[in-house]
Chains A and B, each alone.
Chain A
Amino acid sequence: MVNAIKLHDSDNVASVFDLVKAGSTVLVVDKKGNSYELKVSDDIPYGHKIAIEEIAVGQQVTKYGEEIGLATAVISVGQHVHIHNIESIRGRGDWAKAETEKGAEK
């Protein structure tokens, strides 16, 4: 069984270092060596993330115990977590531009 590495207690994602097929089961392992099995619902490429908790739209995605983005869709346990369902809150020139344009209309 492929391990899914959970780097911090507060993380809601874990990373896999093998190709994982939808429907298979991974072993979620934390830093203390605790582990449990989790069913994967998407194909997960090498090095990518799986949700280990349900994440609501707009909710913080946490890895290394830190914010790595916000969910843009509901993410269920076992789903692939990547650019299709999370977004960065940093370096958002598009947000800054929209703010400026909104200001200009007023």
Chain B
Amino acid sequence: MSNDKQYTFMGYVRKDGKVGTRNYVAILPAVVCVSEVVESIVHNTNMTQGIIHHQGCCQTPPDLERTTECLIKIGQNPNVGAILIVSLGCEGVDTDRLEAELRATGKPVDRINVQELGGTSRSIQVGMDKAQALIREVAQMQRTEVDISHLTMGIKCGASDTTSGIGSNPVIGYVADKIVDLGGTVMFGETTEFIGAEHILQRRAKTPEIANEIQHIVTRMEDRAKAIGVDMRKGQPTPGNIKGGLSTIEEKSLGAIVKSGTRTIEGVIEYTDVPKGKGLWIKDSPGREIELMSGMAVGGAQVILFSTGRGAPQGFPVVPVIKICGNPLTYERMNHDMDINAGLLTTGERSLEDIGEEVFEMLLSVASGEVTKGEAIKYNKSMDFYMLGPVI
């Protein structure tokens, strides 16, 4: 393995040493109940992104802790330059801890409380004024050239069909291997889509303990699905996957894990965790887009590569999502949502290395500020946090 060429991108170096590929002011609701206030502030300001989730109250204590932890980690994501916390005032989330931990990053942080400010309209006004000050502060930050080893890439496949496992996922696997070799970090998840393919991942685990952890998270996820007492088919694989030729979860999983490439798996982390070092990591997470991409952002991903066959358009508020389509027919139909046509690998018209290098180049360019198709049309609201217990 020789990597004489140095690869860099232009990013925003934060006080904690992490590097952002974007420079947003996150408008961060402590609880679902202030979504309207957040949306109004975002609508009336530039450079802001609303983190519209559906959690934060009337949940079991472990899930409230989980929500608080996720909100902290989203604020800590290097693509976020400053944070405005929007609190209702009576939420279950520990908003004081949220604010304290975000202030500790050295990023500008402010906070409004809707009940104390006297309701929605007053909170929108005060929130806009506070957001304006934060925007003007982060707008002064400049991009500088940094080594690719500062990059953490999240990966995802969604709305899969048979071409995902043969076209777009191998392309992402190629890029994942390259980033790991260049000293960067890669995270993949979708534990549900390890079912039937976990033995292959276990062979790539760095230690026998990590192999056991892979088995543990797969069994835990499978047991959760089985506890409902039905065949999980139609839940996973989805009706769309089935129409696209995927007959069973095993078949879907065997195609899905290809996107993780071939390198050693350094460890398994929980949904709220950040990778504990460089290289390739598994994040225990479900297969659905919104929770998976949130998990990647929580883990510090500054960019997400997203593979699809049937055409998944989702994007994330503070992380650019590059769409790689394995189905050439879908690419033609949905080319305003799809960034790269990996269908040309499926049809044999282009090689894996050829398309892989194109994606790698685009990745560096997007990390440096190039806008994806989804970002250009604000397709960026697909987010929520993955909870374990009921709403109570």
In the complex the two chains form, is A91's CB within 8 Å of B251's CB? no
Besides the known contacts A66-B197, A91-B232, A94-B229, 10 further A-B residue pairs in the complex with CB atoms under 8 A apart = A17-B346, A46-B245, A66-B250, A69-B247, A82-B242, A83-B247, A87-B231, A88-B248, A91-B231, A93-B229
Q: Which residues of B contact A (CB under 8 A)?
A: 161-163, 165-166, 195-197, 200, 222, 225-233, 236, 242-245, 247-251, 254-255, 309, 327, 329, 346-347
Q: Kindly state the separation between the CA atoms of A79 and B229 in the bound complex, as whole angstroms.
A: 31
Q: Which residues of B contact A38 (CB under 8 A)?
A: none
Interface string of A20-56 (1 = CB under 8 A from B): 0000000000000000000000000111110000000
In this complex, what residue of B is CB-closest to A5? B166
| Complex A-B, nearest 5 residue pairs according to Cβ-Cβ distance, in ascending order | A91-B232, A47-B245, A47-B162, A88-B248, A97-B229
Contact partner of B231 among A5, A82, A94, CB < 8 A? A94
Q: Tell me if A92 is interfacial: C-beta within 8 Å of chain B.
A: yes
> With A15-B162, A46-B329, A68-B196 given, is the CB distance from A90 to B249 under 8 Å?
yes
- In the complex, chain B residues whose CB is within 8 Å of the CB of A86: 247-248
Q: Tell which of B225, B244, B346 touches A91, judged by Cβ atoms closer than 8 Å.
A: B225
Q: Are B226 and A96 in contact (CB under 8 A)?
A: yes
B residues in contact with A49, CB < 8 Å: 162, 245, 247
In angstroms, how far is the closest chain A Cβ from the Cβ of B54? 26
Secondary structure at the A interface, as helix, strand, loop or mixed, is mixed
Contacts A48-B162, A49-B247, A91-B249: A68 and B254 contacting too (C-beta < 8 A)?
Answer: yes
Contacts of B245 in A (CB 8 A): 15, 45-49, 82
Write out, one digit per residue, whether chain A residues 74-106 have a CB within 8 A of any chain B CB (1) or not (0): 000000011100111111111111000000000
Listed by A's residue number, 5 A-B pairs whose Cβ atoms lie within 8 Å are: A46-B329, A47-B163, A90-B248, A90-B249, A91-B232
| Bound form: Cα–Cα A63–B250 in Å | 10
Residue contact A93 to B225, C-beta cutoff 8 Å: yes
Q: Is A9 an interface residue (CB 8 A)?
A: no
Taken together as a complex, chains A and B put the C-alpha atoms of A47 and B243 apart, in Å, by: 9
CB pair A47 B309 closer than 8 Å = yes
Q: Tell whether, in the assembled complex, residue B329 and residue A88 are in contact, meaning their CB atoms are under 8 Å apart.
A: no
Closest residue on chain A to residue B347 by CB atoms: A17
Least Cβ–Cβ distance between B136 and chain A, in angstroms = 51
User: Could you tell me the distance between the alpha carbons of A82 and B239 in the complex, rounded to whole angstroms?
Assistant: 13
**Known A-B contacts A48-B162, A66-B197, A68-B196; A88 and B242 likewise in contact (beta carbons under 8 Å):** no
Tell whether, in the assembled complex, residue B163 and residue A17 are in contact, meaning their CB atoms are under 8 Å apart.
yes
Which of these, A7, A67, A91, contacts B222 with CB under 8 Å? A91
Q: For B236, give its contact among A63, A68, A91, A96 (CB under 8 Å).
A: A91
A92-B226, A93-B229 known; A87-B248 Cβ under 8 A = yes
Residues in chain A near residue B248, CB distance under 8 A: 68-69, 83, 86-88, 90
Query: In the complex the two chains form, is A88's CB within 8 Å of B250's CB?
Result: yes
**Most chain A beta-carbon neighbours within 10 Å: one of B196, B233, B247:** B247
A96 and B247 form a contact (CB under 8 A): no
Tell me how far the C-beta of A68 lies from the nearest C-beta in chain B, rounded to whole angstroms. Answer: 4
Give A69 to B251 CA distance when docked, in angstroms: 8
Cβ-defined contact, B195 with A90, below 8 A: yes
Residues of chain B contacted by A63 (CB below 8 angstroms): 251, 254
Cα(A29)–Cα(B332), bound, Å: 26
Distance between B199 CB and nearest chain A CB, rounded to angstroms:
8
User: Most chain-A Cβ atoms within 10 A of its Cβ — which of B165, B200, B231, B232?
Assistant: B231
Which chain B positions have C-beta within 8 A of A48?
A: 162, 245
In the complex the two chains form, what is the Cα distance from A24 to B245 in whole Å?
A: 19
Instruction: Compute how far the CA of A60 lies from the CA of B196 in the bound complex, rounded to whole angstroms.
Output: 13
Q: Contacts of A69 on B, CB cut-off 8 Å? A: 247-248, 250-251
The residues of B that contact A17 with a CB separation of less than 8 Å are: 162-163, 346-347
B residues less than 8 Å from A92 (CB atoms): 226, 231-232
Q: How far is the CA of A81 from the CA of B162 in the complex (A)?
A: 13
In whole angstroms, how far apart are the Cα atoms of A86 and B236 in the complex? Answer: 15
Interface centre among A46, A90, A96 (most CB of B within 10 A): A90
Q: Which of A64, A66, A86 has the most CB of B within 10 A?
A: A64
Which of A5, A82, A93 lies in contact with B232, CB distance below 8 A?
A93
Contact B166–A15 (Cβ < 8 Å):
yes
Across-interface contacts of B165 in A (CB, < 8 A): 64
